Amino acid sequence: MYVRDPATATGDQTFNQATVEFASLDAGANTVRFDGTTARVDGNLTAGSYFYSAAALTLTDSTVSLGTNAYFATTASLKNVTGTFGSDLYFASNTDLENVTVTVGHNAYFASAVVLRGSNSFTATGTLFTFSGSVDGPGSLQIDQGAGAETRIDGQVGVGTNVGSVVVNGGTFAATTSNLQIRSTGSVTADDFYANGAGTASITAATSIQLGGLQPSAPLLLTAPSKTLSGAIDTTGAIQLAGGTTTWNVTSQTSAQVTRADNDALTWSAAAPARPIELINGGVFAGTGTTTTISTLGPGSGIVAPGTTAIPVGTVTALGNVGGAGGLGMRIDSTSAATDLLNVTGAVTLGGALTISTGTGPIGTPRTIITNDSVDAVIGTFTGVPEGAEVTGTDGSFHTVSYAGGDGNDVTITRNQYTSSTALAQSAATSQTGSSLTLTATVTSTHGSPTGTVTFKSGATTIGTASVVAGVATFTTSTLAAGSYDFVAEYAESPGHTGSTSSSVAHTRTAPPSGTNPSGTNPTGTNPTGTDPTTNEPPALREPGLRASRSCVAMNRTMPTLTYLLSRNARVSYRLERRATSTRFRARRSCRTASGRAKYHYDRIAATTRTTTAGRVRMPVQRLLGTRHLAPGIYRVRITIHPTSGGDAITRATSFVVAWRD
C-alpha cells in the first residue's frame, strides 16, 4: 500500500499490508497499528491514542504527536524526527536514531541495541529511561529528566563505535551492567552517577568528564583530560582517576572506601571520612583530610601534596601506613607561619621525589614535614636525597633534609640562605640626553646562582628594575634628564639569598651643545663655531633625534640615510629641499672646502608621506629621489610627525651638502 499524498484517517486504523508507505499520516485522536512487514512515514505522524508497529518502521523528516503509549515491536529507524510521545515509549528491537529531538511523557525503554547518529535529545518527565542493549555510533545523546528520575544503562556505551557526547541532566545516571564501559569522543556529563554492576565500570571521554556525584559499588575507572566532580562520593568500591593531569576536587564524601589517583590529582576535604588511598603512575593526593592508609603502587610513585588552592599550607593525616612498592614522594609549601605536614600513625616508606614549591620559612630552624608517630625509622629516602642532602626549591630556596628529625624518626627540612654580592657597571661614565645608557648589575654568591629582582637607583630615586637571569640584571634607558647621578644596584632578598647593594657609580648627563652636527661629528676644516656647517644656524635636531648619516657627500655617490627614534606609531611626512640659487655657495674642490651662508630660503625637491611604526627608523634620502641624482648644493630634509593616536604634530630638520667630490 502506497499513499504518496498526506493521509487523514477517521477511527482506529490497522494496516495489515506487508508494506505501507505514507507521505504523512494523521489519525486524529484514534489508534494506529502497523501489522505488516515494513512501514514508512516520510512526514508527520499523528495518533491521539495508542500507537503500535509490528512492522519495521522508518520515520523520516517527521513531527510526531502520539497521545499515549508508543510501542515499536521490531526494528525502528528515526531520522530528523521531532515531537511528543504522550506516555510510555518502548523500542523492543534494534533502534537507529539520527537527529531526534522529542519529549517523552512517561518512561522510555530501549530493549536492544541503539545506534546514534547526529545530535539526539530526549526530555523525559517519567521516572525511568532505560537502555538494555548497547549504545554505539558517532552521534551524541542528551537526556533531560526531572528530580528523582533515573537513566539506566544495562548494556555498553560506545564499545562498538565510540559515541559522541553523553549528557544526562537531572536525576541519576545509573549503570547496572557487568564491566560497564562508556567511551565518548566528546564529553560525559551527569548530575549523579551510580554503578552497581559486577566487575569494573569505566568512563572514558576525549574531552571531559563532569559528574555531580559518584555512587559506585563496583570499582570505577574515570579517564579524561579534564574532569570535574562537584558532588558526594558514596561508595564501597574503588574509584580510579586516570589520564590527564587535572585535579578532582572531592569535598563531600560520605563513605568512599578506596580512591586511586593514576597520573592525576585528587583533593580530599577535611570533612571527608578516613578512607584508604592508592596512588599509581605519579598520582597526587592533596587536601587537608584524614585517610586510613596511603599506598603507592607501581609503576611510578605517588605524591602527597597537603593543602589546597585556597589553603596552600595544610595537613594530611594517615591513620595507617603510607608509601609502598611504588615509592612515596611529597610536594611541600612552606611559609613564615607553617609548613605542609603529613601526620602518620603507621610506617613510612619513601622513594619518590621531594618538591618544595615555596620555601619562605625561618632560616636555620628545622620544620617537620612528616610526623612519624610510631617508633620505627623512616624506610627509604626521597629520590636522590640522602640524609643531610640539600634540596633546591622551585622558588630558588635551599633546604637540608633529615630523616631523623623531631623526636628521632620524623622527616624535617631546614631552610638555608646564603650571602649575595652585587656589582654595578655602566656603559659610559658620561652621556648626552636622548642617548641610551645601560646599567648592568652582576649578582654572585658563594652558593648557587641568585635569582630575583634588582632595583637601579640614584639616591632615593628609582631609575628602573630588572630580573636577574644567570646572575645578571640589565637596564637600559634613554629618558634621563641632564644632571649628575650616583647609581647603585639593590638586589632584593630572595628565598635562597640575602639582599645586597652595590657600590655607587658616578655618571654625568649633559644636553647636546648648541649647534652640534646631527651626525655627532664635525667635518674637518669646517664649522669652527659649532653651528650647522651648511647653514650657520643652530641645529634643528631635537627629540626624536633626526640625524643624517653623513653631513657631506660627493655628487653621484650614495646619499645619506636619515635616522630617528619614533616613540609611537605615526604618519611621517618627508620634504627634501635645496637651498635657493640666490644663496651663495662654494664647492670648489671637495666636501672639505664646501661652505655656504644661509638666506633661509629653500625650494622643494621631493616629498612623501609614510605610516611608520614606533622604534628606530631609517630612511635613505635616495628613496625620496627615486632614480634622480642631486646636483652640488646645500640640502635640507624636514620631517613632520603626526601621531596616529592623536596629539600635536612635531617637525624636525637636518641638512647635508652635495659636493663635486669627496
Record the cell numbers describing residue 465, joined without a space. Answer: 628594575
Asked if 424 and 496 sit in the same domain, the reply is yes
Cite the beta strand spans of 176-301 per DSSP E. Answer: 181-184, 187-190, 193-195, 201-205, 208-211, 214-216, 220-223, 226-229, 238-242, 247-250, 258-262, 265-268, 277-280, 284-287, 290-291, 294-297
Could you say which residues of the chain have pLDDT below 70? 1-11, 196-197, 212-220, 225-276, 278, 280-281, 289, 292, 297-301, 309-310, 374, 514-545, 581-600, 662
pLDDT, one tens digit per residue, over 226-262 is: 666 665 555 555 555 554 444 444 433 433 333 445 4
- Structural domain contains residue 496: yes
Q: Which residue has the cell 630615586?
A: 461
d(CA 162, CA 533): 83
Close Cβ partners of 309 (under 8 Å, ≥ 6 residues apart): none
Query: 499 with 561, same domain?
Result: no
Q: What per-residue string of b and e applies to 477-513 under the rule 16 or more CB within 10 Å gives b? A: eeebeeeebebbbbbeebbbbbebebeebebebeebe
Residues facing 150 on adjacent strands: 128, 172
Task: Indicate the residue type of 555.
Answer: M
Give residues with Cβ within 8 angstroms of 262, minimum separation 6: 240, 241, 242, 243, 280, 281, 283
Quote the pLDDT of residue 594: 47
Give me Rg for the CA atoms of the chain: 41
Domain membership flag for residue 135: no
Domain final position from 510, 538, 556? 510
One DSSP character per residue, 27-84 reads -TTS-EEE-SSEEEESS-EEESS-EEE-SEEEEEEEEEEE-S-EEE-S-EEEEEEEEE
Same domain, 573 and 645: yes
* Co-location of 558 and 651 in the same domain: yes
Is there a single domain that holds both residue 561 and residue 635? yes
- The torsion angles phi and psi of 623, rounded to 5 degrees, stand at -65, -30
Domain count, the chain: 2
The residue ranges of DSSP E strands in 92-169, in sequence order, are 95-104, 108-110, 114-117, 119-124, 128-131, 135-136, 140-145, 150-153, 166-169
| Residue-range definition of the domain harbouring residue 473 | 420-510
Element (H, E) at 571: strand 570-579
pTM above 0.75, yes or no: no
Q: Is residue 459 part of a domain?
A: yes
Looking at the structure, tell me whether residues 500 and 593 fall in a common domain.
no
> Measured between alpha carbons, how far is residue 99 from residues 42, 67, 584, 654 in Å?
15, 22, 90, 74
H-helix or E-strand containing 623? helix 621-625
Same domain flag for 454 and 558: no
Joined grid coordinates for residue 473: 640584571
Regarding whether 481 and 570 lie in a shared domain, the answer is: no
Residues 485 and 559 in one domain: no
> Does some domain include residue 447?
yes
Of the three residues 487, 510, 533, the one that is the final residue of a domain is 510
Task: Extract the C-alpha cell encoding 322.
Answer: 603510607
Tell me whether residue 185 is in a domain. no
Instruction: Specify whether 561 is located in the same domain as 637.
Output: yes
pLDDT score, position 155: 83
Half-sphere exposure of 43 (CA within 13 A, CB side): 12
Flag whether 614 is in a domain: yes
CATH number of the structural domain spanning residue 455 = 2.60.40.10
Q: Does some domain include residue 50? A: no
625 closest CA partner among 560, 580, 546: 560
d(CA 92, CA 133): 10
Are 486 and 557 contained in the same domain?
no
Distance from C-alpha of 116 to C-alpha of 94, rounded to nearest angstrom: 11
Work out the burial of residue 631: count CB atoms within 10 Å of its CB; fewer than 13 is exposed, 13-18 middle, 19 or more buried. Answer: exposed
Residue type, 627: T
Q: CATH no. for residue 625?
A: 2.60.40.2550
In a domain, 330, yes or no: no
**Cα–Cα distance for residue pair 391/397, rounded to 1 Å:** 8
Residue 312: predicted pLDDT? 76
Residue 610 contacts residue 572 (beta carbons within 8 Å): yes
DSSP letter for 281, please. T
- Residue at a domain's end among 510, 539, 565: 510
Q: Are residues 496 and 556 in the same domain?
A: no
Question: What pLDDT sits at residue 120?
Answer: 93
Q: What DSSP assignment string belongs to 151-170?
A: EEE-S-BSSSS-BS-EEEES
